[in-house]
Structure 1
Amino acid sequence: MYSNFWCDVHSAERLQAEYLIDWYFNREHTMRYNSTVGHWTGLSRAGFITASHFNEDDHDVLQRKVERQLICVDHVDTLLKVIEENVVEPAVDLAEAAGSGPDTRLLCAAYDFYPKRIRVTWHRDGQEVTSGVTLSEAMPNGDWTYQVRSYLDFGPGRQHGVSCTVEHISLREPKVYHWEPSVNRSERGFLVGGVCALLLGAVVLSSGLIKYRRWFCPRA
């Protein structure tokens, strides 16, 4: 059995500091305490029983209030200072991902950022899109930074006007990344090959003209 204790701080307002406890047993997340809700919430069969017992225990109720005050509320300034000194701006990639069938799948990946809280949204022509969106949980990289991936699936011919917006505490304002539809890889390879062939032809033609002038246009 083990527990994780969290302080969720969104601003310098002390009274808004949230105190959270995640309780695990045999690697199963059994229950959670949330100071905003004011009680334990069971997440498993055993967790429901234990949470109900704790919520009826006046000593436990008082203990959690004291812990929130001592651990979170009294240290809001310190917590914010630590965050401000260690914020890392996310790097973002917007690219087409492998999808199923004729639908198009776009990937907006934000990585190497800190702290964990981040918001990634999709927009089309300025309007937020929620249909066809899949968002992963923020995953730790093992070096105190995180990464998150968001996918957007939509039908063919609807790629124009699509953008990905990333909001994070390290950014003064949300960053918008616009998707620019382009030709597929095979077409792109064909075009690149065509351009190379044209350049090579131009070089050969220029060389031929130079030799022609040397042979048939001797200097006086």
Structure 2
Amino acid sequence: PEAFFFLYIAVPCFLSYTFGFFMYSNFWCDVHSAERLQAEYLIDWYFNREHTMRYNSTVGHWTGLSRAGFITASHFNEDDHDGFLPEPLQLVNLLIPVEPAVDLAEAAGSGPDTRLLCAAYDFYPKRIRVTWHRDGQEVTSGVTLSEAMPNGDWTYQVRSYLDFGPGRQHGVSCTVEHISLREPKVYHWEPSVNRSERGFLVGGVCALLLGAVVLSSGLIKYRRWFCPRA
């Protein structure tokens, strides 16, 4: 999904209080999408309220906008030791944490055991903690946790599985901790009818429907035989 982030910093600097010289700079960072190459870093340089020069990361150098600005920009552009590292963009990204979306569901499995899946996805930054609890106590046995995998848009996803035997579904919850959350979020598992019980239930419903059909047919025949029309 397309995103936009704007960072603005103003840095004033008094060159001489006696003569009233005043210089300040504006630092801008425009992030129009999740692609780092589309992030633009700008510096506007002012002297005594005059816009003298600007740096644009897309252009890659300083541009003079006034007589004094042309001279200063030329000196800055000739300095081989002047440069801007891409690391500040990573710092900007850390300022925008994305809350994870979480799904808690029963995963497909074999045998009588139950497997639950707690999936957290579309979160940023990468670091996240997913734990299982039963009746308020953390569960470590039967837990399988995958590594946080990148989605390709700076967000991540992670999956955690919990395997347990029959009759232990109650009181199970999944807890997710992330920097985007003010406090850990707890997702409670509501156990549904298991496969064996579901089979008995379906069979019972079918038997009731068949019995109702047979009973209805018998009543109709009885009325025809023993209740002749007047």
What TM-score do you get using the length of structure 2 for normalisation? 0.46
Task: Say whether the 8 Å CA contact 2:35–2:153 is kept in structure 1.
Answer: no
Q: Distance in 1 between matches of 2:80 and 2:199?
A: 71
Q: Deviations over 1:137-196 (max 9, x none)?
A: 000001110000000001110010000000000000000000011114796699799999
Q: Aligned to 1:208, what secondary structure does the other structure show?
A: helix
Shift of 1:32: 40
Shift of 1:101: 1.8
Shift of 1:29: 50
Higher share of residues assigned strand: 2
Q: Distance in 2 between matches of 1:143 and 1:133?
A: 28
Task: Say whether the 8 Å CA contact 2:34–2:154 is kept in structure 1.
Answer: no
Report the RMSD for the aligned CA atoms in angstroms. 14.3
Structure 1 pair 194/170, CA: closer, same or farther in 2 (3 Å)?
farther
Higher share of residues assigned helix: 1
Task: Say whether the 8 Å CA contact 1:83–1:115 is kept in structure 2.
Answer: no
Shift of 1:100: 3.0
Q: Deviations over 1:78-121 (max 9, x none)?
A: xx994676541000000001123211100000000000000000
Q: Deviations over 1:52-97 (max 9, x none)?
A: 999999999xxxxxxxxxxxxxxxxxxx994676541000000001
Structure 1 pair 111/11, CA: closer, same or farther in 2 (3 Å)?
closer
Q: Distance in 2 between matches of 1:214 and 1:175?
A: 66
What TM-score do you get using the length of structure 1 for normalisation? 0.48
Please list every run of 5 or more consecutive structure 1 residues that lacks an aligned counterpart in the other structure.
61-79
Larger radius of gyration: 2
- Deviation above 6 Å: which 4+ runs of structure 1? 1-60, 185-220
Structure 1 pair 210/99, CA: closer, same or farther in 2 (3 Å)?
closer
Number of residues of Structure 1 aligned to a counterpart in Structure 2: 201
Structure 1 pair 187/5, CA: closer, same or farther in 2 (3 Å)?
farther
Q: Aligned to 1:187, what secondary structure does the other structure show?
A: helix
The percent identity for this pair of structures is: 97
